[in-house]
Amino acid sequence: MHLALALCGALALAAAPASKPTPIPATPYQQFKLPNGLNVILSEDHTAPIVGVDVHYDVGSKDEKPGRTGFAHLFEHLMFQGSEHLAKGEADRLIENVGGGANGATSQDQTVYWEQVPSNALEQALFIESDRMGWLLPTLDQAKLDNQREVVKNERRQSYEMQPYGTAFIELMANVWDPEFPYHWLPIGSHEDLTAATLQDVRDFFKRWYGPNNASLAIAGDFDPAEARRLVEKWFGAIPASPPPDHRAPSPKPIAGEKRVTIEDEVELPRVYVAWQSPRAFAADDAALDLLADVLADGKSARLVKRLVMDERIAQNVSAGQQSELLAGTFLVVATPKPGQTVEKLLGEIDQEIERLKREPPQPEELERAVNKTESGAVFSLEPVGGFGGRAATLNRYWFQTGDPGYFPKDIARYRQVTPEDVRAAAARWLKKDARVVLTVKPRATAAKETK
């Protein structure tokens, strides 16, 4: 899901009767652009003496090419290795000394860096982010590249290759998307491509994507807007713009027929993944499929959970989700059978429930519950002004995805306007048996023997 709301709507949502939704007030914000192209969003809120700083760069694995995968994520690591005026570890020390927090992440679509600090430490956070943006290259050398290349390779091993079912998603995406489409690979990249990366490659990557004209800075929380603007101009104004970024937007090739894929892993129980191509973020049917996933698998009363886990007790767990990105989306159902049960039985019953939803719309109360969960979950996730999913990050994300930092009332409306018939039609349109990938993870023979 990607619905995000402002915290100012939390009380209104909580108090609203189901029959008459209360309008959600817009989050106040100011927006301006520096001469070098940096987009800046300010959202003032004096509820607590805390401020969140979020820098979004419009670069992710969507901007990579076959043979050069993992660069965006590798560069996220390199951005924490020091810059011209901040030695390695100094940025972390500045944030920790004021009792704040900081982190970064790379997705298919964007790369994000954030700080959440006391209000009087806003300038430290802006100084850190400006030095990364404007003065990283002078300190980027072969030793740092070699070190972080190995760190990322080890992250891939620990997060995917050595995790139970860890390679399933890598295999799944490789089969859902054609090799030229950038969601074919994950942001972590491949060992081969990481090994092949040269110092000049990563320098060129920085020059292409990390300019202020390909970034947005959002500040949310307890600050004075005039002073914040002065500090932004002070620390970011001298950074030169990069050449205009060339973002490609390829169209994926549709899945032709049903693909069946089986892999083995060091696991005790098999697992089945069923995936379809689906609409990109904010496109038609995106919200309907988001709510369909909740009807299927969010909570004990959801259809697949109730049938497979609670009533028949043939599944350990089951989940569903509409994972929509900038270029396309993936609708996914995942289920693990209980010992003695088979993935074939689970798949058959999953198909029955999906086919039923294609014929008969969900009940109004099912849809209402899904909408309420979506709204309340989004509100509570935005209690912090900083951090992943916080207020500053949400303003930036909306700016990049819709061109409107204050898009959240329209986002709420997308979900509130979905009807049971919309859900049924979306299921019929997108969840076709002859256009999907069914991936099964089987216990490796050695693992199976050890459990007997």
Average pLDDT over residues 82-102: 95
Q: What's the pLDDT tens digit per position in 202-228?
A: 999 999 999 999 999 999 999 999 999
Q: What's the pLDDT tens digit per position in 421-440?
A: 999 999 999 999 999 999 99
Burial state string for 159-183 with b = 16 or more CB within 10 A and e = fewer than 16: ebeeeebbbbbbbbbbbbbeeebbb
Determine the pLDDT at residue 281: 97
Residue 15 pLDDT > 70: no
Homologous superfamily of 257-443: Metalloenzyme, LuxS/M16 peptidase-like (3.30.830.10)
Q: Which two tokens stand for residue 77?
A: 């690591």
Domain coordinates of the chain in residue numbers?
A: 31-237, 257-443
Residue 352 pLDDT > 60: yes
* Dist CA 198 CA 212 (whole Å): 24
Burial of 7 (0-12, 13-18, 19+ CB in 10 A): buried
* Dist CA 426 CA 279 (whole Å): 10
Average pLDDT over residues 175-202: 95
Residue 18 pLDDT > 50: no
| pTM of the entire predicted model | 0.91
Residue 93 pLDDT > 80: yes
Determine the pLDDT at residue 14: 35
Average pLDDT over residues 228-255: 95
Q: What type of residue sits at position 187?
A: P
Q: What's the pLDDT tens digit per position in 26-72?
A: 788 999 999 999 999 999 999 999 999 999 999 999 999 999 999 99
Q: List the helix and strand counts (H, then E) for the chain.
A: 17, 11
Q: What are residue 99's DSSP bridge partners? A: none
Q: What topology is assigned to 31-237 in CATH?
A: Cytochrome Bc1 Complex; Chain A, domain 1 (3.30.830)
- Say if residues 69 and 135 touch (Cβ distance below 8 Å): no
Determine the pLDDT at residue 3: 56
Residue 376 banded pLDDT, cuts 50, 70, 90: confident
From the list 132, 162, 151, 160, the residue with the least C-alpha distance to 194 is 151
Which region holds residue 31: left if phi is over 0, alpha if psi is between -120 and 50, else beta?
beta
Side by side, which strands form the sheet with 50-57? 30-33, 39-44, 215-221, 50-57, 111-118, 101-106
Residue 448 pLDDT > 70: no
Are both 31-237 and 257-443 of the same fold?
Answer: yes
Residue 232 pLDDT > 80: yes
H-run or E-run covering 401:
helix 391-402
- pLDDT > 70: what percent of the chain? 93
Q: What's the pLDDT tens digit per position in 139-160?
A: 999 999 999 999 999 999 999 9
From the list 443, 419, 92, 63, the residue with the least C-alpha distance to 270 is 443
